[in-house]
């Protein structure tokens, strides 16, 4: 039965989100160029299976991918399953990841999520967002990365780069990561959705950087509607076929 106030039905209104500044035609052109530049974009966290991906993404909070890759290079050689991670123990995990921020809490979470995977999921990484976010240290962004990279499910993992791009470019002008995610999932043409979060993250990491965007190196400078941009001439598209993982 519907909720009522003084005998009158109360209808729940759907949250109105800001509109993107781009038309469908402009979005197709933007992501077509991203695809030409990076035909097969990859995440920059090293991993060997879904479990090590979950651990790597959880460790990346308030840390750089390079820092995480350096910390996990040897860790994943000896503990690439939840069972092996539990056998290693919190103290030894901490020794491996001591160089990254909040390492004590993260070591504790790695052991806790490993234990939950063994106890509740038979040692396998679950393939739904609802189950993934029950793992210690795993939030919506981490779950979205895992769904996309490990299981091929199109998602939008909104990190600081995508949150910045969404607002600076007026692509998805919203205050929260969840709202930016909702807008992007709604406006990005389906043919580009699977790789879209990688294209946006890499664009934000190397071109539309936080302190001062490198507009002269931007392949979508003519299409960008940022009020901060300093150039209207797009850079030439140079395909990046072999993407290096930083370490």
List active site positions. 141, 159
In angstroms, rounded to a whole number, what is the distance separating the alpha carbons of residues 222 and 218?
A: 9
**C-beta neighbour count of 67 within 10 angstroms:** 17
- Yes or no: say if 138 and 58 are a contact pair by the CB < 8 Å rule: yes
In angstroms, rounded to a whole number, what is the distance separating the alpha carbons of residues 219 and 212?
A: 16
Return the residue matching tokens 């990279």.
149
Please classify residue 146 by burial: count the beta carbons closer than 10 Å to its beta carbon, then call 0-12 exposed, 13-18 middle and 19+ buried.
Answer: buried
Return the residue matching tokens 């995977």.
117
């Amino acid at each position: 039965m519907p909720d009522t106030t003084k005998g009158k039905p109360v209808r729940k209104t759907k949250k109105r989100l800001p509109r993107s500044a781009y038309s469908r035609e402009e979005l197709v052109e933007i992501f077509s160029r991203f695809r030409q530049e990076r035909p097969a974009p990859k995440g920059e966290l090293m991993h060997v299976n879904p479990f090590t991906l979950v651990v790597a993404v959880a460790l990346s909070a308030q840390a750089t991918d390079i820092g995480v890759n350096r910390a996990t290079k040897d860790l994943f050689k000896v503990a690439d399953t939840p069972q092996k991670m539990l056998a290693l123990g919190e103290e030894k995990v901490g020794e491996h990841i001591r160089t990254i921020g909040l390492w004590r809490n993260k070591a504790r979470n790695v052991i806790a999520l490993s234990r939950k995977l063994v106890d509740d999921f038979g040692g396998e990484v679950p393939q739904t967002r609802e189950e993934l976010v029950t793992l210690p240290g795993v939030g919506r962004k981490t779950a979205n990365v895992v769904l996309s990279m490990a299981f091929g499910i199109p998602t939008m993992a909104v990190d600081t780069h995508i949150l910045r791009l969404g607002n600076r470019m007026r692509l998805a002008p919203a205050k929260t990561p969840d709202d930016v995610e909702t807008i992007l999932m709604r406006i990005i043409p389906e043919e580009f959705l699977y790789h879209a979060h990688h294209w946006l993250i890499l664009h934000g990491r190397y071109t539309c950087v936080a302190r001062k965007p490198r507009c002269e190196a931007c392949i979508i400078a003519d299409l960008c509607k940022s009020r901060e941009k300093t150039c209207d001439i797009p850079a030439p598209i140079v395909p990046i076929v072999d993407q290096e993982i930083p370490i």
